[in-house]
Amino acid sequence: MKIDFNNVDLSNLNSYKEKSLDAFSSLINKDGEGNDFLGWIDRPNNLDMEEYERIKKASKKIQNNSDCLVTIGIGGSYLGTKAVDYAMKGYFPKNDKTELIYAGHQISGEYLHELLDYLKEKEFSINVISKSGTTTEPAIAFRFVKELLEEKYGKEEAKERIFVTTDRQKGALKDLANKEGYETFVVPDDIGGRFSVISAVGLLPLCVAGIDIDKFVAGFKKGIENYTVDSFEENKAIQYAAIRNMLNEDGKDLEVLVNYEPKLKYVSEWWKQLFAESEGKDGKGIFPISVNNTTDLHSVGQMIQEGKRNLFETVLKVESANKDLTIMEDEENLDGLNYLAGKKMSFVNEKAMEGTIIAHVKGNVPNILLTIDDVSAESLGELFYFFEIVVGVSGYMLGVNPFNQPGVEEYKSQMFKLLGKPGY
């Protein structure tokens, strides 16, 4: 993975060096706020190998008896999985692998109704992911999908198709799993949801989807090698965190993550949760948004080019396309594309990216270019770890606790009052 800061004015960066190194030290030494949720830092090197092997065994069982796995969870309990699954499975996947279907990430009755209709014709299993088992969105979905599963297979076989990822010892979902005999996996106590894709939260469904989780973990380990180095000059994650804070103090309080490969759409969604939930506190934070180019150049591209100058971009580039096409010459040339004859689509896409960067930089939009080798499990693992280190350092530099999310509870309280939940 490479990162290029050439399109950012770095003349003032040195003044952020000490602060960024102090923040990095607090993160790595686990002596800052939220330090009880830093298990993700060294988790790739300290996996519970007994559970890891059970993940692989359970995955084979699901693959053998199920057309699809309904993955029930919200926020960090599904976004990391969705990001890797969507990036890896192809745009028009063949039906030769177990399909991951997502539920419990919103409260749409129409979505759930259509999902239940779809599942009636499928062989399926469930992986419900919730630390407590009482989070509203996944709890509602689990109630409906479990009922259908038990109607379809009977309670005895259904329990062999339900896999629970929850607290190690306590909670409503853990109690239910113990009572019914469901196989359980652990949501670690020391890893917050938005960092949890490296645990059973992400590894079980990804393994079911046919993704090589050994390579995914290897990517995280590569991230440890590259981004836990205590050196401002050698560690690009520290530099990036420092640059983000420098730009923020210069009035750039909105960051746009840009991709030119639609497979990365949900990587952007995972990234948005990671940074928004980590930094958005105490009236602070850099607001994260994302665009999918070149599609969005024909919509919000106008705003980025000439709108309010309070933003900067991080462009996510893929070095090597897994598949490509060459544009051929057409005798009539009615579309005027013959000047592109002999060129690959990846080349045209890259020039669109480079041209857009030039245009946006001319429009006073600082630009950071982050290049991954390819869209693979290993590259995505390294990318995820890079962003996790960045958000920890950046959050501490902002002066917030990057590892809690107190504001998330307010909407729940107001919703429960309106619904008449006892105690509210």
Strands 367-372 and 2-7, how do they pair?
Answer: antiparallel
| Beta partners for residue 4, in sequence order | 369
Q: What is the DSSP string of 348-371?
A: HHHHHHHHHHHHHHHTT--EEEEE
DSSP state, residue 32? S
Q: What is the DSSP string of 212-272?
A: -HHHHHHHHHHHHHHHS-S-TTT-HHHHHHHHHHHHHHTT--EEEEEESSGGGHHHHHHHH
Find the radius of gyration of the CA atoms of the chain.
Answer: 23
**What phi and psi values does residue 129 have, to the nearest 5 degrees?**
-125, 110
Cα separation, 313 vs 316, in Å, equals: 10
Q: What is the DSSP string of 144-199?
A: HHHHHHHHHHHHHHHHTTEEEEE-SS-SHHHHHHHHHT-EEEE--TTB-GGGGGGS
Widest CA span of the chain, in angstroms? 74
- Tell me what percent of the chain is helix, strand and coil, each rounded to the nearest 5: 55, 15, 35
Burial class from Cβ neighbours inside 10 Å (0-12, 13-18, 19+) for residue 96 reads: exposed
**Residues designated as active site:** 277, 412
Cα separation, 395 vs 11, in Å, equals: 22
> CA nearest 21: which of 224, 195, 246, 233?
233
